[in-house]
Structure 1
C-alpha cells in the first residue's frame, strides 16, 4: 500500500509540473530583494506593502501586475520602460508613480546607477493574486 501511495503522489506531482507554464521566455529579475512591511485583505482585495531594493545594475525583469501598484522612491533612481521599449519614466528619490494592471502593461524597472535603489510599493490586487507575473522581453535591446 505504501508503494502505491508513493506512486500516486509522484504521478500527481509529475502531472502538476507538466501543467505549469514554461518560464523559458520569462526574463527574471536580478539583484532584487524585498521584504513585506504590511499586508491585509479587505473586500476581495489584497493590500501588500513591500520595500524593494534593487542593486546597482539590477533589474526587475519584464513583468505585469494583476492589480494597481503604487510606489515611491525612497533612495536612488529607477529607470522604467514599457512594452514599446520606450523609457516611460526616470524616478528619483522622492518621486511617486503608479503601474496599471494587466498583461497589456508589461514593463521593466532597472537601476542604472552605482548606488542601491530602494522603493516602497503598495500592491492592490485581487485577493490571492501574485504580486507580479513574469513576461517575456517584448523585443527590447535591454532586460
Structure 2
C-alpha cells in the first residue's frame, strides 16, 4: 500500500502534487552518502548543505493498528544531537506499526507526525533532514531513533545504492488519520 492511499482526502491532493511513484520517469540525483557510524548517526550542518531528492520511490505498509484500551500517558526526553526535547503524550488514541521502504535515490515528502515515531533502520541507511537548522543526520542499519512528531517537520531520503527498510511505531495517531502529515518545505 502506498502512503498516499491512507492519507485523509485534503492531504491526498498535496501528496499527489509532491509525490511520485517509484516508477516515475523523471530521475532524481541521489545525495552523496554520509559515512555511517555503528554507534551514532553522522551529521551535516547547514553550512555543509545536502541535496534532498524530490519525493519519490517510497512505499509504506501498515503492519498493525491498535487502540489503547487502558488510559496511558508517556513522557520522553529526547537528547537529540544539540538539545534535549521533552515530548508528552497524554492518552494516545492509537498506535500504528508500519514498514517503509525507500528505493536508492528515493525520498519522503516534508512531513510531521501526529505523535512520536520510534524508528529502526533494518537495511540501508536513512538520512533525515530537520527543518530546524536544516541539519542532516544519517542512521545506518541496526540503529534506532525517535522523532518527536507533534509538528516537528522533517524529510528523509535514501542516499545509498541499496533499498532502505524502516520499521516505525507511531503513537497518538487519531482513528482514520495517516501517521504521515505532509508539510511545506521550510526552505532547506
Q: Secondary structure at the match of 2:97?
A: strand
Instruction: Give the corresponding residue for 1:116.
Output: 163
* Equivalent position to 1:127, from 150, 174, 186: 174
* Structure ranking higher in strand proportion: 1
* Equivalent position to 2:59, from 33, 37, 43: 33
CA positional deviation for 1:125 = 1.6
* Structure ranking higher in helix proportion: 1
Contact 1:27 1:136 (8 Å CA) reproduced? no
Structure 1 residue runs of 4 or more that deviate by more than 4 Å after TM superposition: none
CA RMSD of aligned residues (A): 2.0
Provide the TM-score with structure 2 as the length reference.
0.58
Flag structure 2 segments of 5+ consecutive residues without an equivalent. 1-8, 20-54, 70-91
Larger relative contact order (C-alpha < 8 A, sep ≥ 6)? 1
Flag structure 1 segments of 5+ consecutive residues without an equivalent. 1-16
Alignment of 1:47-62 (within 5 A): 47-62=95-110
Contact 1:51 1:119 (8 Å CA) reproduced? yes
CA positional deviation for 1:52 = 0.4
* Shift in alpha-carbon separation, 1:125–1:136, aligned structure 2, 3 A: same
Rg larger in structure: 1
